[in-house]
């Protein structure tokens, strides 16, 4: 109840774009100067996505390649389908090849798959990626060599943060060599953690399954004395899946995400909170993102753990699920036995849906979003744009230069006036920020049920 009410001013200008030359040069960019000249305001402008009146390529001489990299995500197959369909039926580009098993597939052109209509037409109902995927395997020079040798002039890359950086390197090398190859990126991350973007494809589908897991955990928690359901969901660096699924399920008592540090014991800790909930309601449900509590795990169990890295150089996360279960069992079991009517301890049920949130076909909304992204990627590439990604920004489909989003990661905004506030209110969970609260919110009393009673 503490933030200042505010207005939102939304200005939407549609500026004319400079004509695209058939001579290949275009780099997608943000025309800051143009904005300022035209309107006298300081603002960011993104190029509106869509088909262009002039093309940089002769469709009859185009050869396209598409590659999917990194983890699977609902909608990958739809993106493949729609890139092929748009190239074929809107532009008459018949030669589109699927590069297998991620970036490494460029090194083995004999494994490329010719993507004709019959092969892709039912893909929108299939989970996974028919091209396969992999991590790592990026070798910029070899990839551009391969593109050049095969005569590819349209490259579509679907992948996450590392993949996007790789695509930028390819575009740079292409430019350095003076080649006429357009590099378009369709960003993919099931964690929905790309800055600027409204959302990433597959996210809603994943949230739906994560919610199923939370509801099952709630059923189990309700089904036994002093039941506690713990659900781990994806989210290495950001807790969007946890947040959305928990809110959509309406049953979570605690949501732990990488963005918010928490602690176990003592006043304001999660053990006290859950003890109170189980004592009051007979059960509680915890949703934890896989990246939550990493620091805490290291601090508490320093001896037994050390940082490991996988082949791509990513830090391997410690598994927060079983760790948390163990801590909650030991923190709650005896306390509940002492206070329960029948001397019951804790009944803990752990659910880890793991790949079940991402190995499924996309929802209709995600299918449609994939279609938009894929078509816009094709439109941009055919118009001679390169080194760009397609995105929905403030509900508009746009083209964005890769370097605007590469190396950045979106996280949950935990400030006031954000969706995170719904989590705090709906779960009634502690803020884990005792000091700040003590200063700022001295007049706010948290109720037993976790809500806030306002001063009358």
| Binding to its own copies in span 59-88, by CB under 8 A | 59-60, 72, 78, 81, 85-86, 88
Q: Is 191 a catalytic residue?
A: yes
Site for its own copies, residues 252 to 281, rule: CB under 8 A: none
Q: Which of 24, 113, 132, 298 binds its own copies (CB under 8 A)?
A: 132
Distance in angstroms (rounded) separating the CA atoms of residues 308 and 322: 18
Asked if residue 223 binds its own copies (CB under 8 A), the reply is yes
Residue among 264 and 433 whose Cβ is closer to its own copies = 433
Tokens 């100067």, located at residue: 33
Distance of CA 144 to the CA centre of its chain: 28
Phi, psi of 396 (to 5 degrees): -105, 145
Please tell me whether residue 108 binds its own copies under the rule CB under 8 A: yes
DSSP string, 285-330: EEEEETTTTHHHHHHHTTTT---EE-TTSPEEPP-HHHHHHHHHHH
Tell me how far, at minimum, the Cβ of 42 lies from its own copies, in Å. 8
Site for its own copies (CB under 8 A): how many residues?
127
- Residue 314 in the binding site for its own copies (CB under 8 A): no
Q: Could you give the CA distance from residue 81 to residue 150 in angstroms, rounded to a whole number?
A: 22
What part of residues 414-433 is at the interface with its own copies (CB under 8 A)?
A: 416-417, 419, 421-422, 425-426, 428
Question: Of 323-362, which residues contact its own copies (CB under 8 A)?
Answer: 341-342, 349-356, 359-360
Site for its own copies contains 55 (CB under 8 A): yes
Q: Does 247 bind its own copies (CB under 8 A)?
A: yes
What is the Cα–Cα distance from 238 to 255, expressed in whole angstroms?
Answer: 12
Judged by CB under 8 A, the chain residues 110 through 129 that form the site for its own copies are 121-122, 124-129
Let me know if 447 is exposed, middle or buried by CB neighbors in 10 A (0-12, 13-18, 19+).
exposed
450 sits near its own copies (criterion: CB under 8 A): yes
Q: Is 225 in the site for its own copies (CB under 8 A)?
A: yes
Annotated active-site residue in 161, 191, 193, 253: 191
What contacts 406, CB < 8 A, 6 or more positions away? 161, 164, 165, 168
| Binding of its own copies by 146 (CB under 8 A) | no
- How is residue 432 written in tokens? 């884990």
Binding its own copies by CB under 8 A: which of 58, 301, 307, 310?
58
Q: What's 17's DSSP letter?
A: P
Does residue 437 sit in helix, strand or coil? Answer: helix
The catalytic residues are 191
């Amino acid at each position: 109840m503490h933030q200042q009410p505010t207005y939102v001013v939304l200005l939407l200008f549609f500026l004319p774009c400079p004509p695209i030359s058939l001579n290949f040069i275009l780099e997608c960019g943000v025309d800051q100067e143009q904005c300022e000249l035209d309107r006298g305001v300081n603002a960011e402008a993104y190029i509106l996505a869509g088909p262009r009146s002039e093309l940089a390529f002769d469709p009859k001489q185009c050869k396209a390649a598409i590659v999917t990299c990194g983890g699977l995500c609902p909608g990958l197959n739809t993106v493949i389908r729609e890139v092929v369909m748009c190239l074929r039926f809107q532009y008459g580009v018949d030669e589109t090849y699927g590069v297998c098993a991620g970036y490494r597939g460029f090194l083995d052109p004999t494994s490329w798959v010719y993507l004709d209509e019959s092969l892709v037409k039912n893909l929108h109902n299939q989970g996974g990626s028919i091209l396969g995927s992999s991590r790592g395997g990026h070798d910029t020079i070899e990839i551009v060599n391969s593109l050049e040798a095969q005569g590819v002039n349209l490259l579509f890359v679907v992948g996450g943060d590392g993949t996007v950086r790789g695509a930028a390197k390819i575009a740079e090398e292409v430019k350095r060599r003076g080649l006429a190859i357009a590099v378009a990126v369709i960003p993919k991350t099931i964690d929905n953690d790309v800055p600027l973007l409204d959302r990433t494809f597959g996210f809603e589908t994943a949230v739906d399954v994560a919610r199923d897991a939370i509801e099952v955990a709630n059923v189990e928690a309700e089904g036994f004395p002093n039941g506690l359901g713990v659900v781990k969901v994806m989210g290495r660096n950001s807790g969007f899946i946890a947040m959305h699924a928990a809110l959509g399920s309406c049953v979570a008592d605690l949501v732990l995400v990488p963005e918010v540090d928490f602690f176990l014991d003592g006043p304001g800790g999660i053990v006290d909170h859950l003890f109170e909930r189980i004592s009051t309601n007979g059960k509680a449900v915890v949703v934890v993102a896989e990246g939550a509590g990493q620091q805490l795990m290291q601090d508490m169990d320093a001896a037994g753990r050390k940082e490991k890295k996988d082949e791509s150089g990513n830090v391997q996360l410690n598994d927060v699920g079983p760790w948390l279960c163990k801590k909650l069992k030991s923190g709650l079991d005896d306390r509940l036995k002492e206070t329960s009517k029948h001397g019951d301890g804790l009944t803990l049920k752990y659910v880890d849906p793991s790949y079940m949130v991402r190995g499924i076909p996309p929802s209709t909304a995600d299918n449609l979003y994939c279609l938009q992204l894929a078509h816009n990627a094709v439109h941009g590439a055919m118009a001679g744009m390169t080194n760009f990604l397609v995105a929905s920004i403030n509900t508009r489909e746009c083209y964005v230069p890769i370097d605007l989003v590469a190396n950045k990661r979106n996280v949950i905004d935990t400030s006031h006036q954000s969706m995170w506030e719904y989590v705090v209110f709906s779960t009634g969970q502690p803020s884990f920020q005792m000091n700040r609260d003590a200063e700022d919110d001295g007049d706010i009393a948290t109720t037993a049920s976790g809500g806030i009673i306002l001063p009358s």
